[in-house]
Amino acid sequence: SLCAAAAPNLSYQELKDLKKANVLHIDVRERWEIDRFGKIPESINIPLGELMEALQMDPMEFKAQYNQKMPSKSDPVVFSCLAGTRSKQALGFAMSLGFS
């Protein structure tokens, strides 16, 4: 299940279309879930329990930790998880930190 502020529920096809437009895709599943079920291409894994801290990191630290440029508060970001509950929580966390 996928979440973004403008569209709290996205289909897989909508995500594929967004990825063409340079949207950062953050998968908030746990690392063992990625190992078991596979990584979504071009997504970065930040487990939900780490997300608040990650989104408040120094950009250089974020890049070192996740091998990805840290999103700015206005960059398009999509969150995903297995069923949709955690991605909605992630969206709420990001918005509470000022991400639009």
Q: What residues have CB less than 8 Å from 75, skipping those under 6 apart?
A: 24
Which residues are catalytically annotated?
81
Please tell me the CATH code under which domain 12-97 is placed: 3.40.250.10
Indicate the pTM of the whole model: 0.84
* Tokens matching residue 98: 């000022």
In this predicted model, what pLDDT tens digit does every residue of 74-87 receive, in sequence order?
988 889 888 888 99
Q: Where are the domains of the chain?
A: 12-97
In this predicted model, what pLDDT tens digit does every residue of 37-70 receive, in sequence order?
999 888 999 999 999 999 999 999 999 999 999 9
